[in-house]
Amino acid sequence: MSTSAGLNYERRGNGDPVLLLHGLGGELGVWEPVVDALAAQRDVIAVDLPGFGASPPLDGGADPTPGAIAAALVPFLDELGLERAHLVGNSLGAWVAFELALLGRALSVTALAPAGLWGKPLKQRPERPGRWIGRRLLPLMPIVMRSKRARRLLFRWTVAYPDRLSPLVAARMARNYLQGPSYLAADAAMRRSRFTREDELTIPVTIAWCEHDRQVGPPQRELPWARIVTLPDCGHLPMWDGPGLTSRTILEATATEGGRTRASASGEM
């Protein structure tokens, strides 16, 4: 399905609304391992962020900063008839969730391996040679991904156990990583900034760090505004390494009780 603005999304289940926001180079399919468990108890909406998956880039070639991406999701929520939703983001998607919460559209935020909490802006990086080579191998990707060695080389930075990815799933993930028109611009926008407006967040926030994450790790500063959990045996995409644990973490963080999340009501924040 797609909105009038062209944002591609899928919606399943019933209950409190949960909006799933993927990371850099991803698409809504990255949530596949957890969608069934979530949709059994929640109204689950997974969206392709602008310039990723089947969604077009931001209008007018706007710089895809986390804030700009969040702003583009406001009319998306309006069109779906959602004033607010529980926001669940991975990596870049977590930063987008923070920004969308600042716009008053969040019931809660669950941030899985969040980007943007680093102590200072990161160094810019040139396009990796592997992306250049990978784009030329796109027609052969379903064949290339049959090799466990190829899956390990390409996905060792994103999942703890690349061998567990099927060749079909690995090929799809590789295509999205290599073809996303907003990938380089979104990466540059993230690296030159950081999220610093945490004091303005007024909703419950759960931050989940992943034990084997090779891309981001816990910041060297206190986060008293958030409930912190660790996902053992998981890499940067915990929904693939630990779908059961990730689903339970999301369901707990998005369970409401008298207008508040149960995690907040229990004093775990």
Sign of CA dihedral 153, 248, 106, 39: positive
- Stated as kind and residue range, the H or E segment containing 11 is strand 9-12
Instruction: Look up 236 and say whether it is catalytic.
Output: yes
CA 139 to centroid of chain Cα atoms: 27
98/96 Cα distance (integer angstroms)? 5
- Is 91 designated active site? yes
What tokens does 164 get? Answer: 């567990």
Whose CA is closest to 88, among 114, 121, 110, 63? 110
Token pair 């090799």 is found at 147
> Which one of the listed residues 213, 241, 247, 264 is annotated catalytic?
213
- Concerning whether 163 is annotated as a catalytic residue, the answer is no
Give CA–CA dist 263/268, Å, rounded: 6
Neighbours of 149 (CB within 10 A): 9
Annotated active-site residue in 236, 241, 247, 264: 236
From 91, 108, 182, 264, the catalytic residue: 91
For the range 74-83, what are the long-range contacts, defined as Cβ-Cβ under 8 Å and sequence gap of 24 or more? 74/100, 74/103, 74/105, 75/3, 75/5, 76/3, 76/5, 76/7, 76/9, 76/47, 77/19, 77/105, 79/3, 79/4, 79/5, 80/3, 80/11, 80/45, 82/17, 82/19, 82/45
Contact criterion met (CB below 8 Å) for 51 and 58: yes
- Residue carrying structure tokens 């049959």: 146
Query: Residue 144, SS3?
Result: helix
Residues with active-site annotation: 91, 213, 236
